[in-house]
Amino acid sequence: MTTIIYSFTGTGNTLAVARQLGDALGDTTIIPITRVTGNGPLPHDAEPADAIGIAFPVYYMDMPRIVVEFVHRLRLNGNPYIFGIATCGGSPGGPSFISTHSSKRRGPASPLALR
């Protein structure tokens, strides 16, 4: 099963978690969201994969704006399983937006808050 994890990190903690999960899953590619958004206008066509994850730190009890915009404009190929990874130092707040947004547009998703 191929997995793509799109990751946004401020301090490197979210990237470390994405790498740990990728190692555990195997056959995983991690793509920085800033690399994708810096290469031109969105929407961005997602790389083909069986599963697509969005990893991000919680900012002020929510998703960072760059991640919200990325999720809104991401175009999927096929019908991959979608999941979220929210890292935080305190309370995870309300980043389950990714689950609500994804389920309305693309089918069920599973948010995951790590402490």
pLDDT, one tens digit per residue, over 35-91 is 887 655 556 678 789 999 999 999 888 889 899 888 888 888 889 999 999 998 766
User: With pLDDT > 70 as the criterion, what percentage of the chain qualifies?
Assistant: 71
Better pLDDT: 25 or 45? 25
Average pLDDT, the chain: 79
Rounded to the nearest 5°, which phi and psi values hold at 105?
A: -105, -30
pLDDT for 113 equals 38
**Number of domains the chain contains:** 1
Is 66 part of a structural domain of the chain? yes
| Domain range for 32 | 18-39+62-76
Closest Cα partner for 92 from 55, 57, 52? 57
DSSP bridge pairs for 44: 74
Is 106 part of a structural domain of the chain? no
Is 70 part of a structural domain of the chain? yes
Who contacts 61 (Cβ-Cβ below 8 Å, separation ≥6)?
91, 92, 93, 94, 95
How far is residue 48 from each of residues 2, 29, 109, measured CA to CA in Å? 8, 11, 17
pTM above 0.85, yes or no: no
